[in-house]
Structure 1
Amino acid sequence: MNDKLNKILQKQQKQVTDPEAKSREEVIQLVGFIVSDEEYAIPMLNIQEIIKPLEYTRVPSVPDYVLGVFNLRGNVIPLIDLRKKFNLDSTKQSEDSRYIVMKGENNIAGFVIDRLTEAIRIRQDRIDPAPQTLHADKGMIYGIGKREDSILTILRVEALLKRDF
């Protein structure tokens, strides 16, 4: 027990003397999902809820990736097809399709995904910044998470929620 206590005390002392050590060990909680054949994730704190597909109403004069709006308990929320937003071929929704309702500081929107994967916990030091070549893509990518057997594209929710329609 003394050895374990010493390790904890050493770790705390290291965090005091090297504040960046704490941020490297910080764990971020994400929700993973599939769009096309790629896995993406967003921070759990930005998710209002995940629901099965609902009926939606088309809205004229919006970009093709905006499917329309839907009513969620009295709130009218825009619905965005992530396949179309990412310039991928669209497909018919399946029984695995879900709407992820994301919230930011001032915006809320629903996003169509192909299927959920899992809740993910990843340390900050396992996330690399988005490659320089990807910054031109409206800054949608927060970073690339390195997992044991794969990599994961972590999306920036505020960029997804930014209204250009």
Structure 2
Amino acid sequence: MQARMNNPAALLPEAVKGINLLYKAAHSAGLAKSTLELVHLRASQINGCSACVDSGARSMRASGETDERLFAVAAWRETDYFTDAERAALELAEAATRLADRPDPVPDHIWEAAAKHFSESELAALVLWIATTNFFNRINATTRQPAGQN
């Protein structure tokens, strides 16, 4: 696939500053990096962002993630590879990514499941990271950023 243009964030240096602040904020709340990586990969799979799926999987592998868990992210409900907290985060990521799929995009039961496992600041980081991932996915899909180029 040929990119339509260079990544817009790279072309607008002021944007990079804001993106870096979002990244830092989401990663500073004490939430496990593996949880952030899981929701990033799952949202990117849903959105069909090949660049983020590729970079996310590579990052997870570099962080020591097992192949079993890495290969099962898309089918997380059907495996026993994920903790209850990770399952709640993955379900929240799916709901927040697929906002138009139901009248109540993030039903109370999904939010409450996540709230059982994460503190308020961790939930804030999780929501921020899911939104940031969707932001990246939309930029990359719109400009056709190819996998392996990040």
Structure having the higher Rg: 1
| Normalised TM-score (structure 2) | 0.26
**Per residue, is there more helix in 1 or in 2?**
2
**Per residue, is there more strand in 1 or in 2?**
1
Q: Which has the higher contact order (CA 8 A, sep 6+)?
A: 2
